[in-house]
């Protein structure tokens, strides 16, 4: 036996979960896939007195698209997102990012909502949610509220979730016409948390005569949203780099300008394995890689 | 607390502490010691079993979370008969092991990947086995074994 003792509760409905959260507050911890929480409890970095297992709350699962919005239930597994045609059609960024998350056996178990609520600064979903301007839906006995991804991630393992709140689902605006997505990351060993990663979405528009057919590697970039992860306590939007690319074709000089703008956006925090300077270098390289792939039309 | 699940086709239940891991339940309560514990932190894959038909790392799942589920371990793969499962036979045939410690997890992950990636290339097999670490073989024969095992499973 590895974890400290806890009381285990297995509710079947959201209402039961909320009742337990209201009763136990920050003594309790919600467990979904448990792919971060169980190892953390095993080494006793976490020792909740009460564990509320939401795996049997069916209403928290599922992927739906309706009226330009993709809705992903908190309990939806990474592997379901990776395999979903609905996700590929409405938020291809998520389809691109999913294979980078840990390993297959972990993707079979770990959940979308669990990853967002854990808010590991080197994990993929928070950066994707930030780029996609996702809306995170929270519910408690006090009522419901919605938090934009940009406000949701607050620090290392810190989010806007209050102790009595449950993350139920996430809403993501469906990708628009002419938009493309891109994703890349570097980890010391594939499946480990990223040293540095980047998620991008933006539009490639015609630059010449109106109505001219746009070929691969042509056009100008618009409305780019670029988020890096693994570089700070939360996903960092690279607005200066995006501004350097706005309304430009992707050539050597604009890409260089964007890469040189990155220090304006963030100075990477070092971790156990990598210095700030090495991460800054990786961020430049990954930006080049992901933008080149996106621009040349393989990004969607 | 009481946990009840189906393990290798048979009903199993026991009184356990809530903090019991699925791998501890399988090994210590059901004496199914074919499922190995390597790293204990979800990295090495030695403890891979099937939970409702999909590979999971049994060191990162609580026994209570498998309540009502169908669990298959390496002992249940050959479906009770004396013959080995085609994937086990392929590991023997292609010498996909040396010390054997990682093998149960490797085989369970391999059977899952045949389901999700029928006809997988060497590259896909390598990608799908990223979560299973082997310290002996250098993986070459494991990839050969998985490819052969997948072929004899007929994409099932």
The pLDDT value recorded for residue A34 is 97
Q: Do A51 and B18 touch (CB under 8 A)?
A: yes
CA–CA min distance B56, chain A (Å): 4
**B107 close contact with A: CB closer than 8 A:** no
- Do B64 and B44 have their domain in common? yes
Is the pLDDT assigned to residue B153 strictly greater than 80? yes
The pLDDT value recorded for residue A192 is 87
pLDDT tens track for B18-29? 999 999 999 999
Q: Parallel, antiparallel, or unpaired for β A158-159 and A153-155?
A: antiparallel
* Interchain CB contacts (distance < 8 Å): A and B: 97
Please say whether the beta carbons of A89 and A65 come within 8 A: yes
What range does the domain containing B49 cover?
A: 2-76
Q: Which of B37, B50, B131 is the mutation pick for testing A, counting most A CBs within 10 A? A: B131
Closest A-chain CA to B60: A38
**B40 close contact with A: CB closer than 8 A:** yes
**A51 close contact with B: CB closer than 8 A:** yes
Q: Which residues of chain B have a CB within 8 Å of the CB of A7?
A: 18
Is the pLDDT assigned to residue A208 strictly greater than 70? no
- The CATH number of whichever domain residue B139 belongs to comes to 1.10.150.120
- Do B49 and B113 have their domain in common? no
Average pLDDT of every residue of chain A: 94
- Do B25 and B56 have their domain in common? yes
Residue among B62, B65, B113 minimizing CB distance to A104 = B113
Please say whether the beta carbons of B46 and B36 come within 8 A: yes
Tokens linked to A114: 């669990």
Residue among B18, B65, B109 minimizing CB distance to A55 = B65
Tokens linked to B147: 């490819």
Q: Which residues of chain B have a CB within 8 Å of the CB of A103?
A: 45, 130-132
Closest A-chain CA to B55: A105
The pLDDT value recorded for residue B104 is 98
Instruction: Count CA within 13 A, CB hemisphere, residue B29.
Output: 20
Q: Per-residue confidence at B49, pLDDT binned at 50, 70, 90?
A: very high
- The CATH number of whichever domain residue A87 belongs to comes to 3.30.465.10
**B98 close contact with A: CB closer than 8 A:** no
pLDDT tens track for B71-105? 999 999 987 777 899 999 999 999 999 999 999 99
The pLDDT value recorded for residue B156 is 52
- Mean pLDDT, to the nearest integer, of A122-138? 98
- The CATH number of whichever domain residue A27 belongs to comes to 3.30.43.10
Is the pLDDT assigned to residue A285 strictly greater than 60? yes
Q: Which residues of chain B have a CB within 8 Å of the CB of A185?
A: none
CA–CA min distance A38, chain B (Å): 5
pLDDT tens track for A173-194? 999 998 999 999 999 888 888 9
CA–CA min distance A194, chain B (Å): 15
Q: What is the CA radius of gyration of chain A?
A: 20
Phi, psi of B72 (to 5 degrees): -120, 130
Tokens linked to A239: 């607005």
**B18 close contact with A: CB closer than 8 A:** yes
Q: Which residues of chain A have a CB within 8 Å of the CB of B132?
A: 103
The pLDDT value recorded for residue A39 is 94
Please say whether the beta carbons of A17 and A30 come within 8 A: yes
**B104 close contact with A: CB closer than 8 A:** no
What range does the domain containing A196 cover?
A: 179-295
- Do B129 and B72 have their domain in common? no
In a domain, A99, yes or no: yes
In a domain, B10, yes or no: yes
Interface of A with B in 178-217 (CB under 8 A): 190-191
CA–CA min distance A104, chain B (Å): 6
Taking the alpha carbons at both ends of chain A, their separation in whole angstroms is 46
Q: Per-residue confidence at A209, pLDDT binned at 50, 70, 90?
A: very low
Q: Which residues of chain A have a CB within 8 Å of the CB of B1?
A: 8
In a domain, B72, yes or no: yes
Which is more confidently placed, B1 or A217? B1
Q: Per-residue confidence at A216, pLDDT binned at 50, 70, 90?
A: low
In a domain, A2, yes or no: no
The pLDDT value recorded for residue A52 is 98
**CA–CA separation, B49 vs B38, rounded Å?**
13
Please say whether the beta carbons of B156 and B114 come within 8 A: yes
The pLDDT value recorded for residue A253 is 94
pLDDT tens track for A221-271? 999 999 999 999 999 999 999 999 999 999 999 999 999 999 999 999 999
Last residue of a domain, one of B22, B55, B76: B76
Domain count of chain A? 3
Least Cα distance to A132 among A64, A70, A185, A65 occurs for A70
- The CATH number of whichever domain residue A191 belongs to comes to 3.30.390.50
- The CATH number of whichever domain residue B11 belongs to comes to 3.10.20.30
Is the pLDDT assigned to residue A18 strictly greater than 50? yes
Q: Do A102 and B131 touch (CB under 8 A)?
A: yes
Domain count of chain B? 2
Strands, sheet with A196-205, edge to edge from the N-terminal-most edge strand: A179-186, A196-205, A220-229, A236-237
Strands, sheet with B2-7, edge to edge from the N-terminal-most edge strand: B10-15, B2-7, B70-72, B48-51, B54-57
Q: Do A38 and B54 touch (CB under 8 A)?
A: no
**A45 close contact with B: CB closer than 8 A:** no
**A123 close contact with B: CB closer than 8 A:** no
- Do A90 and A44 have their domain in common? no
């Amino acid at each position: 036996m590895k974890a400290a003792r806890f009381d285990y509760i297995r509710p079947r409905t959201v209402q039961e979960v909320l009742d337990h959260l209201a009763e136990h507050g920050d003594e309790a911890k919600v467990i979904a896939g448990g792919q971060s929480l169980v190892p953390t409890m095993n080494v006793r970095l976490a020792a909740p007195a009460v564990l509320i297992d939401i795996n049997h709350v069916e209403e928290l699962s599922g992927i739906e698209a309706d009226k330009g919005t993709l809705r992903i239930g908190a309990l939806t597994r990474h592997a379901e997102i990776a395999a979903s045609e609905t996700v590929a059609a409405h938020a291809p960024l998520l389809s691109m990012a999913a294979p980078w998350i840990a390993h297959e056996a972990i993707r079979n178990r770990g959940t979308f909502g669990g990853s967002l609520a854990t808010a590991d600064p080197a994990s993929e979903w928070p950066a994707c949610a930030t780029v996609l301007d996702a809306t995170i839906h929270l519910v408690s006995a006090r009522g419901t509220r919605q938090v934009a991804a940009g406000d949701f991630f607050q620090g290392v393992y810190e989010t806007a979730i209050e102790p009595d709140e449950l993350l139920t689902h996430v809403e993501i605006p469906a990708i628009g016409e002419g938009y493309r997505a891109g994703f890349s990351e570097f980890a010391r060993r594939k499946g480990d948390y990223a040293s540095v990663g980047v998620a991008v979405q933006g539009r490639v528009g015609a630059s010449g005569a109106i109505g001219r057919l746009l070929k691969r590697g042509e056009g100008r970039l618009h409305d780019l949203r670029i988020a890096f992860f693994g570089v700070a306590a939360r996903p960092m939007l690279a607005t200066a780099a995006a501004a350097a690319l706005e309304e430009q074709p992707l050539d050597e000089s604009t890409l260089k300008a964007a890469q040189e703008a990155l220090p304006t956006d963030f100075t990477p925090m070092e971790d156990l394995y990598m210095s700030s300077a090495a991460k800054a270098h990786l961020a430049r390289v990954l930006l080049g890689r992901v933008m080149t792939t996106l621009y040349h039309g393989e990004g969607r | 607390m009481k946990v009840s699940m189906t393990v290798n086709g048979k009903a199993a239940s026991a009184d356990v502490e809530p903090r019991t891991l699925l791998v501890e339940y399988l090994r210590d309560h059901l004496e199914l010691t074919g499922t190995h514990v390597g790293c204990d932190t979800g990295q090495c894959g030695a403890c891979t079993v099937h939970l409702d038909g999909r590979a999971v790392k049994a060191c990162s799942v609580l026994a209570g979370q498998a309540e009502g589920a169908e669990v298959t371990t390496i002992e249940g793969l050959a479906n009770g008969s004396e013959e080995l499962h085609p994937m086990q036979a392929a590991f023997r045939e292609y010498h996909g092991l040396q010390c054997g410690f990682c093998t149960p997890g490797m085989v369970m992950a391999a059977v899952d990947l045949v389901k999700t990636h029928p006809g997988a290339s060497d590259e896909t097999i390598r990608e799908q086995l990223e979560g299973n670490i082997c310290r002996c073989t250098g993986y070459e024969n494991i990839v050969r074994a998985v490819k052969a095992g997948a072929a004899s499973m007929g994409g099932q």
